[in-house]
Chains A and B, each alone.
Chain A
Amino acid sequence: MKVAYWPGCVSRGFTPELHGAMAKVAPLLDIELIELDRASCCGAGVIAEHSQELADTLNARTFALAQKTDGAMMMNICSTCQGAQSECQERLDANTEYREHVNRTLAEEGLRYEKDAARPFTNKNFLWLLVEEIGLENLKARVKRPLTDLKVGPFYGCYIVRPVSRLGIDEEHPRDRYMHWVIEALGGTVIDYAGVYKCCGFPIITMNKEASLTQAGRHLGDAIDAQADCLVVPCPLCHLNLDLQQPAAAKVVGRDLGLPVLHLPQLVGLALGLSPKELGMNKHIVRPTSVIDWSTSVVAGSAA
């Protein structure tokens, strides 16, 4: 399937391995990415905190650019983009007068965000697309090297699971279970631990570093205590606090950590047969030793 692809900022900044891994994984799943290279940052909630209209207009512009492509929908690889953009879309869709007001700003550029009841604008994180569009059976069929014996702790974070109504989470779409399902579909073992749905602490790293790193350190510690080999995240901002800042978090919580953290496309890529290096895992701060050991072990090797 063809999608308008919004990689976000951090996947091209401090976590370049995420953007790279997605580019490698997409063709293996028959996803054609039309990159929205003229779009701007979603605002990550900070622009909305400064000016709601500014955030809504910037994201309406991104949606309008996506609507101009022939992609079936828009896809992102960052929970924070998903949450911030869903919030803007909720307002734009709820009120015609407001939408037209925002569209007047976009009109000078010849852009327009259309709300079409017959063909609603859809923006899905890679996780949702994987389960709802590609399908778990389809995914399973493509697995070349099942994640047998790899114990993976899902870390959902905030923006992709709350508020549940805005993010379309209900009995029919238990999107807060999708990472569990994907890990299992790839052959891995899900590790449940206290931090599965908690906050990584990233949003307050410049305001209250200690509280921020206590959050990251605590969740990593809980996952280690639950015997996880690694965590998987759908959000590069979580990755910054859980991986890039992990040595600092270890100091704050006063214990050794050293738990590898994978981006979702990396975990999928591993099972689809790509090597850790191809997926950019050498760029992680915490060396993904346990994952690499797993990928070169007899168990994983024999399945390949």
Chain B
Amino acid sequence: MPEYTLRIRRFDPDSGQAAHWDEHTVEMAETQSVLDAILKIRNEVDGSIGIRCSCQQAICGSCGVRMNGKPGLACNTHLHEAALRGHGTGWNPPEAGQRTHLIDVEPMGNMPVIRDLIVDMDAVHWKKVQRVTPWLLAKEPVPEREYIVPHENMVDVTQTMACIQCGSCVSDCLAMEVDPLFIGPAALSKAYRFVGDPRDAQHFERLKDLAEDPHGIYDCTHCFNCIDACPKGVDPMSQIMRLRRKAGSDHDIEDRNNGYRHEHAFVNNIKRNGILHESDLLADSYGGKFNPNAGRELVSGLPTAMRGLARGKMTVKKLLLHEHKASGEIKRVFDTVEGRSERVELNLYVTGYEDEPEEASAEHREPPAETSVPQSESESENA
């Protein structure tokens, strides 16, 4: 059986001692889990190691930890897999030649450590989940019997319902790292679960609240860490983008954080110019050149622009005019797609991948309306 070396980060905030790493070597099959190894060490060598776990089947979401720099569940990560982990984190790079046996285990990030591998989920994660009103605000009148919900709507929210509240995505959220008040990936995914549910009566109010909050849906930096972190395929960042789409396009919520304006300014900028005209985008994101808010922002950005001009990075001509204009073909793509009566979306979580028969066959359901592909009017012409 292969040998694995686990380096476990130990810390007891009450002890007054600094954190340190304990190293243990175990002989175990490569398909046993990191949790198996931790429990073996705890049972046989050091009973004082703090780890939270329960089901050991990736259902309860208790054993979230960082393994070689990447968050996940200790119970569904094979030792072999954990040792190779570290892509996108620089941990155990292939050059170091230790990729096959060394596993660093530490508590999740963005949350205070209670002891060793146990973090305070209440202080951060659960507080944020409560922030989004995580229950159904039912439509009135309440029917005598059950609500009838279109199947496609339920399929649409199943992805967020797969969340087991393990906190892995919260651990590595880079927006939360600099803005601890950011509502964050797990709670915002939970918010989509109700915004996407037709039984809920307060879609607009929920979206308005999350769009207006300076730490809400427009605070996400698009870093994709939560997508890679999630052991259940929830794709929290994609849910945040869905919330933005619904807030901006379905409910026309013009928030005070410039989220709506930035998105619409960007789309119109490309429609007009084909490629981005940055200085226009900047002004329009703040409400247009003549908007008082824009004035303030642009004045505060003036030193930046002056430095750009001084170094020849920008020219006055480039700031004010844009030589590039969108071709008729690009405009036509915009007109065709924006002119559709129904939004066309493909959610790969629902439809699966054609070339991977196993995954595709796991989903026998009909695609929901939003993800189905309507027949184009011009189909017969092109056929």
A interface residues, Cβ below 8 angstroms from B? 8-10, 12-17, 38, 40-41, 43-54, 56-58, 61, 83, 90-91, 93-98, 101, 104-109, 156, 158-159, 161-164, 169-171, 174, 176-177, 180, 192, 196-199, 201, 203-204, 206-208, 210-212, 214-215, 218, 244-245, 247-248, 282-285
Contacts A/B (CB < 8 Å), 25 sampled: A12-B275, A41-B276, A46-B262, A47-B266, A52-B345, A52-B346, A53-B340, A93-B355, A94-B346, A101-B376, A104-B379, A108-B378, A109-B332, A162-B224, A163-B224, A164-B228, A174-B94, A177-B94, A197-B90, A199-B174, A199-B222, A207-B258, A208-B179, A211-B221, A215-B178
Query: When the two chains form their complex, are residues B175 and A41 in contact, meaning their CB atoms are under 8 A apart?
Result: no
Q: Contacts of A53 on B, CB cut-off 8 Å?
A: 337, 340, 343-345
Q: How far is the CA of A17 from the CA of B308 in the complex (A)?
A: 12
Q: Contacts of A54 on B, CB cut-off 8 Å?
A: 267, 333-334, 337-338
The one of A46, A107, A164 that contacts B267, using a Cβ cutoff of 8 Å: A46
Indicate the member of B262, B275, B286 with the most A CB atoms within 10 Å.
B275
- Shortest Cβ gap from B133 to chain A (Å): 23
Query: When the two chains form their complex, are residues A247 and B274 in contact, meaning their CB atoms are under 8 A apart?
Result: no
Contacts A97-B373, A201-B221 known; 10 new A-B pairs at CB < 8 A: A41-B270, A46-B266, A50-B264, A58-B270, A94-B354, A101-B376, A162-B225, A163-B228, A206-B258, A215-B177
Nearest neighbor of B286 in chain A, beta-carbon distance: A206
Query: When the two chains form their complex, are residues B333 and A58 in contact, meaning their CB atoms are under 8 A apart?
Result: yes
Q: How far is the CA of A164 from the CA of B224 in the complex (A)?
A: 10
The one of B90, B257, B311, B332 that contacts A207, using a Cβ cutoff of 8 Å: B257
Indicate the member of A50, A107, A180 with the most B CB atoms within 10 Å.
A50
- Shortest Cβ gap from B350 to chain A (Å): 11
Q: Contacts of B93 on A, CB cut-off 8 Å?
A: 174, 177, 180
Query: When the two chains form their complex, are residues A245 and B178 in contact, meaning their CB atoms are under 8 A apart?
Result: no
- Shortest Cβ gap from B239 to chain A (Å): 12
Query: When the two chains form their complex, are residues A206 and B241 in contact, meaning their CB atoms are under 8 A apart?
Result: no
Query: When the two chains form their complex, are residues A13 and B318 in contact, meaning their CB atoms are under 8 A apart?
Result: yes
Q: Contacts of B154 on A, CB cut-off 8 Å?
A: none
Q: Contacts of A247 on B, CB cut-off 8 Å?
A: 303-304, 307
Query: When the two chains form their complex, are residues B278 and A13 in contact, meaning their CB atoms are under 8 A apart?
Result: yes
Q: How far is the CA of A34 from the CA of B308 in the complex (A)?
A: 29
Q: Contacts of A108 on B, CB cut-off 8 Å?
A: 332, 378
